[in-house]
Amino acid sequence: MNITQFIFPEVTRLDIAFGNSNVPEGLLELAKEKGFYNGNTKANDLFSKWFFSGLDTAPEYKEGIDKEKAQKAMNWACCFMRSFEPKHEEKEAICAFIFDECLKLQ
């Protein structure tokens, strides 16, 4: 199973302002299985940098990925990072999984 098999909701203006904590079913479990919960990966590092400091440049998508689905996942992840729920470790794991699936990581 990969990121393109999940259905991410459309991001609304409220989501942009306040975050969105509606997690597609099974996403957290898969992120945990893939090692992103309390993980030490490039994707976890990207999450921490983005969450605490912001990014200087926009990340690039992996070659060969469905860019429309990846963009929808990334839009949702950006709003999800700002949500008050769930726990920070769960947000990190889910976002790191999405980043790992969608982005070129250095």
> pLDDT band for position 21 (50/70/90)?
confident
Residue 49 CB neighbour total at 10 angstroms: 12
Q: Which pLDDT belongs to residue 1?
A: 62
**pLDDT top residue among 10 and 39:** 39
Distances (CA, A) of 65 to 2, 11, 26, 75, 89: 11, 20, 21, 15, 26
The larger pLDDT score, comparing residue 19 to residue 50, is at 50
- Tokens for 55? 């990014």
Question: What does the pLDDT average to over 18-44?
Answer: 93
80: confidence class by pLDDT, cuts 50, 70, 90: very high
Decide: helix, strand or coil at residue 103: strand
